[in-house]
Chain A
Amino acid sequence: MRAASIADVPGAQPRLAPWLFLSPFLLVFLVFTAYPLVQAMVLSLQQTFGPQHTRFVGLRNFQFLFSDPLFWTALRNTVVYSLGSLLIQLPLSLGLAMLLETPGLRGGRLYRVILFSPSLVGVSFAAMIFAVIFEKRTGLLNVALHRTIGWNLDFAWLERHVMPALIVASLWMWVGFNMTYFSAALKNVRRDLLEAAEIDGAGPWRRFLHVTIPEISPVAGFVVLLSMIGSFQLFELPYLLLNSTAGPGNRGMTIVLYLYQTGFENSDLGYASAIGWVLGLLLIVMTVFQRVLVRRSEAA
């Protein structure tokens, strides 16, 4: 017989144990994330150029934010990017996952590895390669399109169509990742339901709509949430792609890019923190909204 466990009553759940397991996370989190976060909140109410030169300005940073055209440009660009990304990337990931489920398909594993590999390489590589792809006149995309369908060689992706270019770049980076999630979900779609639907005379599209989609909706919800949160925090990709700027006419400006510019290029940490807080609130609202929707649809 083993030594007595921590609990006084055998089989009962110990009281301290959960906190013991949580403590490393909580400790590191509180020290390295929560504390700087609180400081950032305080910063958002100040203007600062150093500890000797800090002044409390109340909500002035936030007031300025709401009338700042650059902030609204950044917000608009970020929303466009997120929606576009969501509406294009997720169906594609789902489509690829379904293709991989085709009965009788061999070599699925190899396809999976290849399609997943872009997620491994990091943002710097993606930015570098897509800068080359999207260049005017000599970029891979324009040259390829020009030679096949006579596309305009001077089409300026990175000057006038930055958000679509970013959507394509992030598509390359993440479609394999999302596809893996969907693959797992598809594997768990109950065959009996599909077969029953088929027996009832439903065609492939209706089977998809009424059996597959509801079955994978928990995973889909998870992927959508992750994507949205990730999209709203887009920063390194446009920043690197546009050579450490926000692009001509600020067409590549996202919220976090504006935050970075304000904080580190204009050294206005107070205002940058204010932007960060607005973003955080936005994301929380979105998350809550999404979970409410999921709960509603599950109840239905």
Chain B
Amino acid sequence: MRPATLRNSGGVTPRVRVSRTRVATAHVLLLAASGLMLVPFIWLLCASLRPADAFFQDLFLPTRDGHVAFDLLTLASFERLFDMAGFGRSLLNSIFLSSTTAILGTLVAAMGGYALARFRFRGSKACTVLVLAAVTIPGPLLMAPGYQFLYRLGLLDSFWGVILPAIAPAFGVFLFRQAILSAVPQELLEAARLDGSGEVNTFFVVALPLVRPMVATFLMIMFLGTWNNFVGPQVVLQTPEKFPLSVAIAQLKSTYYQDYGLQMAGTLVSIVPVLILFMFLQREFVDGLAAGAVKE
């Protein structure tokens, strides 16, 4: 029996009974779950539009005498945010850091995963184990030695000091290894070599396109990770003009004095680009995530 007809992705419509009640129940439960997931976002939106002086009096929307007062909604917090010196610059820094780290990290991980998946060589087992073990290393353990080491390499206060340590993602190598194992058959590669394709050509032209979803996914994962990271950059980068957005937002919070409206507006602004990116790229992203997990 040919397997293609039995798996859903083979394009054969399965014979199923659609039960109205089951669909309705599913909708109710999914709506409830979605609602709960969205509550924090709604709160953030309301919080960034509330006037700062009466910030904590209301839970969501500003009220006056018990009734929701839509006229009190204000963009003042956002104005203060954009007036903040260096805001635009930090946004630019974030875009640069995140996109560059994403591309380089994905390339490195894809190459590494390709090597471990489709080559038999001495040390491949060892390297695979190394990659798996690397996933278990806790970040703070490396913070202090890592920082000193960057200093010795002369990479402090440089974007490369932030980018380079991040582009050897063990998790990524692992994911690409899975994806390539499941989507790129050995014969295809051998056929390409027989045909005279060089190794580099084989990788970029034959193998990589077949794991396009994983490429999309991992680009997104790396972008997200870098975009939201404020711990490393703030310590490595010494010039304030080089700080990314995440650091600028983190600095809005000081222990003793809070401009709540500003913080909320800042947080909203820092998550909107990511959400937009995700909405455009979500299809490939979700497909890719799925591709990375299936084969063991």
Distance, CA A5 to CA B192, complexed state (A): 10
Contact A100 B196 (CB under 8 A): no
Contact A104 B23 (CB under 8 A): yes
Distance, CA A183 to CA B38, complexed state (A): 21
B54 at the interface (CB under 8 A from A): no
Residues on B with C-beta less than 8 A from A219 are 293-294
Residues on A with C-beta less than 8 A from B282 are 112-113, 116
Contact B109 A25 (CB under 8 A): yes
A115 at the interface (CB under 8 A from B): yes
Contact B141 A276 (CB under 8 A): yes
B85 at the interface (CB under 8 A from A): no
Distance, CA A172 to CA B34, complexed state (A): 10
Residues on A with C-beta less than 8 A from B294 are 184-185, 188, 218-219
Main secondary structure on A side of the interface with B: helix
Distance, CA A26 to CA B169, complexed state (A): 10
Contact A190 B7 (CB under 8 A): yes
Proximity bits, B200-224, A CB within 8 Å = 1, else 0: 0001000000000000000000001
Distance between B181 CB and nearest chain A CB, rounded to angstroms:
12
B274 at the interface (CB under 8 A from A): yes
Distance, CA A36 to CA B139, complexed state (A): 11
Contact A103 B18 (CB under 8 A): yes
Report the contact-size class of chain B (Cβ under 8 Å from the partner).
Answer: 35 or more
**Which of A11, A28, A177, A279 meets B138, CB within 8 Å?**
A279
Rank and list the top 8 A-B pairs by shortest CB-CB distance, nearest first: A184-B290, A122-B228, A276-B141, A104-B18, A2-B196, A28-B168, A18-B119, A25-B112
Distance between B284 CB and nearest chain A CB, rounded to angstroms:
13
**Which of A6, A36, A130, A233 meets B142, CB within 8 Å?**
A36
Contact A122 B227 (CB under 8 A): yes
Which residues of A line the B interface, CB within 8 A? Answer: 1-7, 10-15, 17-22, 24-29, 32-33, 35-37, 39-40, 43, 96, 99-100, 102-105, 107, 109, 111-118, 120-126, 128-130, 132-133, 138, 140, 143, 172, 176-177, 180-181, 183-185, 187-188, 190-192, 218-219, 221-223, 229, 233, 235-236, 255-256, 259-260, 263-264, 269, 272-273, 276, 279-280, 283-284, 287, 294, 298
Contact B145 A36 (CB under 8 A): yes
Contact B296 A294 (CB under 8 A): yes
Distance, CA A25 to CA B145, complexed state (A): 20
Distance between B253 CB and nearest chain A CB, rounded to angstroms:
9
Distance, CA A39 to CA B150, complexed state (A): 13
Closest to B282 in A: A113
Distance, CA A229 to CA B138, complexed state (A): 10
Contact A25 B137 (CB under 8 A): no
* Pairs across A and B, CB under 8 Å, 10 listed: A3-B196, A15-B121, A39-B145, A40-B145, A96-B30, A191-B7, A191-B8, A218-B296, A255-B138, A259-B138
Proximity bits, B140-153, A CB within 8 Å = 1, else 0: 11111110010000
B29 at the interface (CB under 8 A from A): yes
Residues on A with C-beta less than 8 A from B29 are 99
**Which of B143, B173, B194 meets A10, CB within 8 Å?**
B194
B114 at the interface (CB under 8 A from A): yes
Distance, CA A185 to CA B23, complexed state (A): 21
Which of B19, B120, B267 is the most central at the interface, judged by chain A CB atoms within 10 Å of its CB? B267
Distance between B103 CB and nearest chain A CB, rounded to angstroms:
13
A40-B145, A140-B59, A219-B294 known; A21-B135 Cβ under 8 A: no
Q: Which parts of B34-79 form the interface with A (CB within 8 Å)? A: 34, 36-41, 43-44, 56, 59
Distance, CA A172 to CA B59, complexed state (A): 20
